[in-house]
Chains A and B, each alone.
Chain A
């Protein structure tokens, strides 16, 4: 694979990282902290899609029609029933402990059910021939399709948050929970919806990652790290930040792997460390971030 091919493949995978990061960004905005189980939730959705495919023979992408509502319901119920008792603004240690413990439960549950072995998903309906972009530059059709689907889903999330009543309430709750409560918004249900949306998008992103690479029960922390790195590289507060961060991370990993097979992930970590050191607010500047040191909070728009 040439450098240009690696660059394009990395950028396309970066779109999937952006989708993984988008759900995490929503959690950060609404809850005020990173969900440590985000990667494991994505993994859970991916294994669910794999299992349904294994049992029914329907391909994993079509299974998402079932997986997405199930993951939304699971995220909603767990937030409302358990996680809501340890909201990070009140109990930061409790939040970290509970989301970490949730991650441990998912990981070890998956090990017991599926064993440690690595597997991969069949691209199914997204499968296809190589596509010639220009001259000798070609991409795999599944990579292009999942990139397009990821960016489209982020756009859909944007519309949901800006154009629907639920989205307005979510944003109001994230901007000022107390004020929103005064106007009759139930902050607990808003947080549950945000967690449901995060779990659902994470599952889709997980299926997209799983059709291009192998995955196993131990990959949760790595997926969380990719989502987190994309968020920090791009900067919180805008969808553009998530997409830019995801693409930069994907390109860095692909170029690193092209230099030496063991250096893919490492190159991504290096870009993350450099951005955190010299530009903690992320590559995409927002009006809010330009004035202060910290990144903008609030629901990405």
Chain B
């Protein structure tokens, strides 16, 4: 995701989390606070916590019941979508309500690649990411020309149009959708476990990837654009190319999420594969509730959202109403979300930063 070798990205990322000091360090490497651990220690604690959580997650298939595995898959996919939406909306200024278009494209790529082309079911996941990324280019040419809330509705229209195209296509099963046959030949337990691993790679990969991204040239460009796009452009940042890069990246992740999310389903239909309420509304809520512009926020938000969703009203309409009310409350009071509350209680830094400020450092910049 960041141009690094995919297999080593996770361990590299975790080492990077452990290695770097937080933001503006003093010559002595951060002054210890009188009332608790210093920022450097906090950063190391954060890295240890992160590594511990990931280690625990890797043992899950060995002991956890199916229900917990499925919930964790949902959580990991939501975290992946939320991390990328956060970069899109908070840093690049692209408040998209059309990411479900790429989720749907990913889901249909899975069916076509696995059942029609005969590709291995699990290789269909990277194929879905690729197809979504390629299709995001013509969409970008259309929607990246308009800004703000008009962009949001334009992306919504494009997603609705994509659903209408698929629903009108007989080869894709029309409004009834298509069955997914390839997965029925697999051992159910192996399918569940592999789906879990793929979801975990997407979720953890998105977190680590966005963190590493914030340290690249592209990440610096995004930081600069978030603070002041006009000034960034004068200093040599190309806002158009930066937005396009993030847009394509987010589409690829959404495509992969769409494929993984449908590995365990009996089939794919346009209404649910391209569903705004299922794929994009929770992502917006999770980012705002957790904390816009931070890496930790979407993780905390997704965790709370998924757990409360399981507990309250079975995640039904009343739960969405509650989540929407909470989201409005956070937005109109300009608070930093749940992660902001944690930060006010203790100066916790899970994703420390080596240079500059940016994703993860100033959550107050967007919800002004």
Q: Which residues of A contact B (CB under 8 A)?
A: 32-34, 36, 82, 85-86, 88, 90-102, 104-105, 107-109, 111-112, 221-222, 224-225, 228-229, 260, 262-263, 265-266, 269-270, 272-273, 276-277, 280
- From A97, A224, A273, give the contact of B327 (CB < 8 A): A97
Instruction: Check A225–B89 contact: CB distance below 8 A.
Output: no
Asked if residues A101 and B164 are in contact (CB atoms below 8 Å), the reply is: no
> Is A101 within 8 A of B324, CB to CB?
yes
- Answer yes or no: B306 CB below 8 A from chain A CBs: no
A262→B168 CA distance, assembly (Å): 6
- Contacting pair A91 B149 (CB below 8 A): no
Given that A82-B328, A98-B331, A100-B284 are known contacts, is A228 also in contact with B277, CB under 8 Å in the complex? no
Chain A residues with Cβ under 8 A from B97's Cβ?
36, 96, 100
Q: Which listed residue, B157, B175, B320, B368, touches A262 by the CB 8 Å rule?
A: B175
A101 to B283, CA, bound (A): 12
Decide yes or no: A92 and B368 within 8 Å by CB, A104-B281, A260-B168 being known contacts.
no
Instruction: Decide if B308 is an interface residue (CB 8 Å cutoff).
Output: no
What 0/1 pattern do residues 309 to 329 of B give for CB contact below 8 A with A? 000000001101101110110
The smallest C-beta distance from A88 to any residue of chain B, in angstroms, reads: 6
Question: A97 near B321 (CB under 8 angstroms)?
Answer: no
Closest to B143 in A: A276
B332 touches A85 (CB 8 A): yes
In whole Å, how far is A77's beta carbon from the nearest beta carbon of chain B? 14
Other-chain contact of A266, B152, B161, B317, B367 (Cβ < 8 Å)? B161
B152 pairs with A34, CB closer than 8 A: yes
A263 neighbours in B (Cβ, 8 Å): 168
Which residues in B have their C-beta under 8 angstroms from that of A92? 93, 95, 148-149
Contacts of A86 in B (CB 8 A): 331-332
Listed by A's residue number, 9 A-B pairs whose Cβ atoms lie within 8 Å are A93-B90, A96-B148, A98-B332, A99-B149, A102-B324, A224-B153, A225-B160, A262-B175, A269-B164
What 1/0 mask marks residues of chain B from 163 to 198 whose CB sits below 8 Å from any chain A CB? Answer: 011011000001100000000000000000000000
- Cross-chain contact A104 with B320 (CB below 8 angstroms): yes
Q: Report if B154 contacts A (CB, 8 A).
A: yes
Q: Check: B245 CB closer than 8 A to any chain A CB.
A: no
A222 & B160 in contact (Cβ 8 Å cutoff)? yes
**A107 contacts B277, C-beta separation under 8 Å:** yes
B150 contacts A by Cβ under 8 Å: yes
Interface centre among A98, A104, A265, A273 (most CB of B within 10 A): A104
Closest approach, in angstroms, between the C-beta of A132 and any C-beta of chain B? Answer: 34
User: Which residues does chain B contribute within 8 Å of A97, judged by CB atoms?
Assistant: 284, 288, 327-328, 331
- Check if B135 is an interface residue, CB within 8 A of chain A: no
Pick the contact of B150 from A33, A93, A107 — CB < 8 Å?
A33
Q: Which residues of A contact B164 (CB under 8 A)?
A: 262, 265-266, 269
A100–B325 Cα distance when bound, in Å, is: 11
* Neighbouring A residues of B148 by C-beta, 8 Å: 32-33, 88, 92, 96
In the complex, are the beta carbons of A93 and B292 less than 8 A apart? Answer: yes
Complex interface: chain B residues within 8 A of A33 (CB): 148-150
B44 to chain A, nearest CB (A): 33
Kindly state whether residue B366 has any CB partner on chain A within 8 Å. yes
Question: What separation, in Å, do the CA atoms of A124 and B367 have in the docked complex?
Answer: 47
With contacts A94-B332, A104-B324, A260-B168 known, is A280 near B145, CB below 8 A? Answer: yes
B156 close to chain A: CB less than 8 A: yes
Footprint of A on B, CB under 8 Å?
Answer: 89-90, 93, 95, 97, 142, 145-146, 148-150, 152-154, 156-158, 160-161, 164-165, 167-168, 174-175, 276-277, 281, 284-285, 288, 292, 317-318, 320-321, 323-325, 327-328, 331-334, 366-368
Measured between alpha carbons, how far is A102 from B323 in the docked complex, in Å? 11
| Cβ B149 vs Cβ A266 within 8 A | no
Return the chain B residue nearest A270 by Cβ: B161
Whether B149 pairs with A104 at a CB distance below 8 angstroms is no
* Chain A residues closer than 8 Å to B277, beta-carbon distance: 104, 107
Complex Cα spacing A91 to B152, Å: 14
Closest B residue by C-beta to A35: B149
Q: Would B157 and A101 count as touching, CB distance under 8 A?
A: no
A101 nearest in chain B by CB position: B324
Q: How far is the CA of A36 from the CA of B95 in the complex (A)?
A: 12
Residues of A within 8 A of B368 (CB): 90-91, 94
Q: How far is the CA of A225 from the CA of B152 in the complex (A)?
A: 11
Residues of A within 8 A of B168 (CB): 260, 262-263, 266
Instruction: List 19 additional A-B contacts (Cβ < 8 Å) besides A94-B368, A111-B317, A225-B156.
Output: A34-B149, A34-B150, A36-B97, A91-B334, A95-B149, A96-B97, A97-B328, A97-B331, A102-B328, A104-B323, A107-B277, A108-B318, A112-B317, A225-B160, A229-B157, A265-B160, A266-B165, A269-B160, A276-B146
Residues of A near B325 (CB, < 8 A) are 101, 105
CB distance from B338 to the nearest CB of A (A): 15
Instruction: Give the CA-CA distance A88 to B89 in the complex, in Å.
Output: 14
How far apart are B345's CB and chain A's nearest CB, in angstroms? 24
Is B281 in contact with A100, judged by CB distance below 8 angstroms? yes
Question: Which of B93, B156, B157, B285 gathers most chain A CB within 10 Å?
Answer: B157
Q: A108 CA to B97 CA in the complex, in Å?
A: 18
Please, which residues of chain A bring their CB within 8 A of the CB of B175? 262
A273 to B157, CA, bound (A): 9
A96: which B residues are within 8 A, CB to CB?
A: 95, 97, 148-149, 152
Partner of A221 from the list B156, B317, B318, B328 (CB cut-off 8 Å) is B156
Distance of B246 from chain A, by nearest CB (Å): 15
Chain A residues with Cβ below 8 Å from B145 are: 280
Q: Contact: A101 with B285, CB < 8 Å?
A: yes
